[in-house]
Amino acid sequence: MAPKLLSYSDVGSPVHRLNGVTKLIAFLLFSIAGMVSYDTRCLLVMLVISLSVFYVSKVPFKQYSFVLYLILIFSVLNQLAIFLFSPEQGVQIYGTRHELLHIAGRYSLTSEQLFYQFNVLLKFAVVVPPALLFLLATEPSEFASSLNRVGVSYKVAYAISLTMRYIPDVQQEYVNISTAAQARGIDLSKKEKLGRRVKNMAAILLPLVLATLERIEKVSAALELRGFGRKRKRTWYRSRTLTKSDTLAIAGAVLISAAVLVITFWDGSRFYNPFA
Amino acid sequence: MQSSKGFSVKTVVAIGIGAALFVVLARFGSIPTGIPNTNLQTNYAILALFALLYGPWAGLLIGLIGHTVADLISFGPWFSWIIASGVFGLLAGLFSRGIRIHDGEFGGKEILRFNIAQIIANAAAWFIVAPVLDILIYAEPANKVFTQGLAAGGMNMVTVAILGTLIAIAYSKTRTKRGSLTREA
């Protein structure tokens, strides 16, 4: 009954063979460049690159199809909201006004607004493939060691790998508790009134939280017994040295994001203005 | 509980498993209110609770890690709100510091403090950090992001006030109070 969350599977593509560190660095660099830049040309190039890497990775479509639908819904709603709240945002940013169609009242379609909203969409779309790739094509036990490698304290890195490790368990616990509660007549569906539903939710959350706290006690006792956290450093079961293709990929990512930043700010503004 | 540097083992585990709980509740534990796109996000009640139990740094990291993973497995990372979640956890933990819930102390005074802390943290995260970052990163229209922030922050305040407080009270009842043993003469 519980939908499967995204999970790693090894299909042996060149992207899978890359080191976790490489994928993490590429993901971070692309995210930063994508966040900073509003230059349409750069964003388009980045999107093409990240989509082609995605294609090379051969991650089966089934694995992330529902994510794509959610992204689509989220983007459509967000785009509509932007237009409803501020139909002239694009005009403000680009400083010109080319009206295409008057809708009603203060709402009219301008090419500046369309272009601006296209950019917002692009900015979001650029980050999604590298993020998905990092999640789908990195062996979970390599997560922690790669984070540690790029300078995250090993305790925080370990916490993140604990998160990945325990999501399925906590999810199972949630499903167990909520079905047990529903069998006893605690209704969580739409049929119940809001106030009642909140109260019923508390009836599920309470045992879930107490069970989680107990789990924390157990796991931390186990870690403590094994001497976790005694030393300043630790080694990792899964950590590989960087190969030639890793160095190449990292260099490529660094070059691309540096180029993106330079091109974006060349004329002193983070927006690319085709109307000027 | 000694450790070489930084977090204790228990804090590390609490961050990891707390973030997992945050992710699971982000996906399954939200209650629609009837207003489109506005849900009661029960995971923020849990975040406030964990910040209270394990301190501000745990709150910060559970917010950051939990929200990032939750975003990744639903629709991709939206960075401004991820950072806002971290800020919420940090501030909620910071202002509710000194409440000794582990010793079973969570009466009227502590409930009030916990709620003041969560209201300040929610206000800072959703009324200020999230919209300002939305504008800085995504150049979104100001009136849109502040409306969204107000809605989200308001909802979260209500959720934490009800669910967070209820669960914290219940948890404190499971703990043995300090000084509950009396010495027999």
Nearest CB to B12; choose among A67, A155, A169: A155
Please indicate if any CB of chain B lies within 8 Å of the CB of A81.
yes
Distances (CA, A) of A48 to A42, B36, B71, B75: 10, 34, 22, 19
Give residue B36's pLDDT.
Answer: 61
SS3 B148: helix
Nearest CB to B49; choose among A74, A194, A209: A209
pLDDT tens sequence across B32-71: 776 666 678 899 999 999 999 999 999 999 999 999 888 8
Q: Do A220 and B20 touch (CB under 8 A)?
A: no
A134, A150 Cβ separation under 8 angstroms: no
Q: How confident is the model at residue A78 (pLDDT cuts 50, 70, 90)?
A: confident
Ordered structural domains, chain B, with CATH: 2-173 (1.10.1760.20)
Q: Do B12 and A162 touch (CB under 8 A)?
A: yes
Residue ranges per domain, chain A? Answer: 1-139+243-276, 140-237
Rounded to the nearest 5 degrees, what angle is found at the Cα of A114, between the Cα atoms of A73 and B82? 45
Q: Looking at chain A from residue 185 to 244, which residues have their Cβ under 8 Å from any Cβ of chain B?
A: 190, 194, 197-198, 201-202, 205-206, 208-210, 212-213, 215-217, 219-220, 223-224, 228-232
Which helix (H) or strand (E) covers residue A103, if one does? strand A99-104
Give residue A36's pLDDT.
Answer: 83
Give the N- to C-terminal CA distance of chain B in Å, as an integer: 33
Mutate to test the interface with B, among A1, A78, A167 (most CBs of B within 10 A): A167
Can you tell me the distance from the alpha carbon of B1 to that of B3, in angstroms, rounded to the nearest whole number? 7
Quote the pTM value. 0.85
Task: For residue A51, give both structure tokens.
Answer: 């989509």
Please provide residue A110's backbone torsions phi and psi, each rounded to the nearest 5 degrees. -115, 155
Rounded to the nearest 5 degrees, what angle is found at the Cα of A260, between the Cα atoms of A255 and A264? 150
Residue identified by tokens 């009842």 is: B173
Q: What residues does B41 pair with on adjacent strands?
A: B30
**B-chain residues near A40 (CB < 8 A):** none
pLDDT tens sequence across A179-189: 998 899 888 77
* B154 or B183: which leads in pLDDT: B154
Q: Do B69 and A123 touch (CB under 8 A)?
A: no
